Amino acid sequence: MGRAANRKWAARRVRYRLAGARERSRLRVIFGWRIALSLVALLLVAAPARAQVADVCTGVPDKMVCTGPITANMRFEWTAADNVPTVAVAEALTPRVYVDQATTFVELSGDTCTGAAPPLTCTAPIPAALLAVLNVSGVHSVTLRMFDPAQGLEGPSAVPFVLRSPPGAPSRVRIIR
């Protein structure tokens, strides 16, 4: 009876080991798929964030082409003229944006400039009113002028850049009778 019992227990141990190996293999497959799906989901979520950070404009300064849509977290960026000596002087000027050679403008507020000496780099948030205009489907010419409120003078236009705004996605698509 001793040998039979030993054989019986030995057979059971082998079955348990095989079952454990099968279970571990099954778990590896399940967790492997879960990890792969998690990575894909992470990449899909991170992709739009990367796109928002990347520049929407390409080309050289005199022939800049930008592609919309423009979002609220984007900013205008420009290089101040060489005759603007300090950050304080640059921030005292009021940037004005003209779209499609219009005679009306939108003033940018909250502009900040950086740099120790000319040329200084300045940025400003895009106001909501301007977002609506920039995101109208079509090709737009956008230019920037600096206004000196102390003297009441407006400087010359910067070289305009082209903004291509694609049409938006339709909503509530359906078939009706």
Q: What is the pLDDT of residue 65?
A: 85
**All structural domains of the chain with their residue ranges:** 1-54, 57-165
- What is the reported pLDDT for 28? 58
Q: Which pTM does this prediction carry?
A: 0.61
Q: Which fold does the domain 57-165 belong to in CATH?
A: Immunoglobulin-like (2.60.40)
- pLDDT for residue 93: 92
What does the pLDDT read at residue 39?
Answer: 43
Q: How far apart, in whole angstroms, are the C-alpha atoms of residue 149 and residue 138?
A: 33
Residue 98's pLDDT is what? 92
- Give every residue of the chain whose pLDDT is below 50, as ranges: 33, 36-37, 39-54
